[in-house]
Amino acid sequence: MKIVVMIKQVPDAEEIFIDPVKFTLNRSQARGIINPSDENALEAALRIKEAVGGEITIISMGPPQAENAIIECMGRGADRGILITDRVFAAADTYATSLTLAAAIKKLGEFDLIFAGESTTDSGTGHVGPGVAEFLGIDQVTYTINTKIEGEMLIGERELEDGIEVVSARPPLLVTVMINANIPRHSSLRKKVDAIRKGIEKWDHDTLSLPPDWVGLKGSPTLVGALKIPEERKRASKIIKLEEIPDLVNELVKNGVISTGGD
């Protein structure tokens, strides 16, 4: 089974600071980590590889330091790593990102499954997985919490608001994975050393040969019209003494906040 896992390196949310003057996010001090649900996507792919055999290729589009995230994935069991990196790809919106990743996957040749996280912790649109599937013209199984291969089919459990849907779909497919799908494994030191020795492949604009106005900022139709800081909601608190509880309950019932439950 040929499996591709798309991962994005994101800044660790706990290390991002808000500039108190400009109200912009300052990511310069933040450590780069694998986007959390991409770790779940990799874990789902590794479990399928262990069950039916195959090869896992990691693909990431980002700056040169995203290499560390790819090495970490190879330390967990992925076989090959490709970093798509070029200044021309910078400032891509989700459309241009999906188009570029789809072109890279096409260049890889045949594949059975592409795994992606449900969304990222920095932009968090959830567009890129489905976007890649659309550009490649393949089916997608989104929001999965469990996946397995039975015969020629992928069986995916999808977490919906009101239950779990079980679907069966024929590869080639793109699968997005929820953050609660599994517990990602740690990397092994030996595999990480092997990955560093093996190295990762770096693909640039020349490798993909896409028209320059299809990628990066030029290829991005998203326009940010304005940014607004939401008004802070004021909350009041009051300490209630034990003997005041009946009055409080009466007030909450009167205001329709709670009901007594009877007819």
Ligand X SMILES: Cc1cc2nc3c(=O)[nH]c(=O)nc-3n(C[C@H](O)[C@H](O)[C@H](O)COP(=O)(O)OP(=O)(O)OC[C@H]3O[C@@H](n4cnc5c(N)ncnc54)[C@H](O)[C@@H]3O)c2cc1C
The least distance separating ligand X from the CB of residue 233, rounded to whole angstroms, comes to: 24
Give yes or no for residue 182 binding ligand X (CB under 6 A).
Answer: no
Mark residues 106-125: x for contact with ligand X by CB under 6 A, - for none: ----------xx-xx-xxxx
224 in contact with ligand X (CB under 6 A): yes
Please state the closest distance from residue 151 (CB atom) to ligand X, in A: 27
Q: For 179-209, b where at least 16 C-beta lie within 10 A, e where not — what string?
A: bebbebeebeeeebeebeeeebeebebeebe
Q: How far is the CB of 232 from ligand X (least distance, A)?
A: 23
Tell me the C-alpha distance between 20 and 23, whole Å: 5
Between residue 26 and residue 65, which ones bind ligand X under the rule CB under 6 A? Answer: 35, 37-38, 41, 59-62
Give 9 or 154: the residue with its C-beta nearer to ligand X: 9
Listed ranges 72-80, 94-102, 233-241, 247-255: which one lies at the site for ligand X (CB under 6 A): 94-102
Other beta carbons less than 10 A from residue 151's beta carbon: 8
Tell me: does residue 67 bind ligand X (CB under 6 A): no
What is the total count of residues that contact ligand X (CB under 6 A)? 31
Burial 219-248 (b: 16+ CB within 10 A, else e): bbeeeeeeeeeeeeeeeeeeeeeeeeeeee
- Decide if residue 7 touches ligand X (CB under 6 A): yes
Mode of pairing for the β-strands spanning 153-160 and 139-150 = antiparallel
Q: Does 76 bind ligand X (CB under 6 A)?
A: no
Whichever of 88 and 92 has its CB closer to ligand X, that residue is 92
Q: Is 127 among the residues that bind ligand X (CB under 6 A)?
A: yes
Closer residue to ligand X (CB): 92 or 208: 92
Residue at shortest CB range from ligand X: 117
Binding site for ligand X (CB under 6 A): 6-8, 35, 37-38, 41, 59-62, 91-94, 97, 101, 116-117, 119-120, 122-129, 222, 224
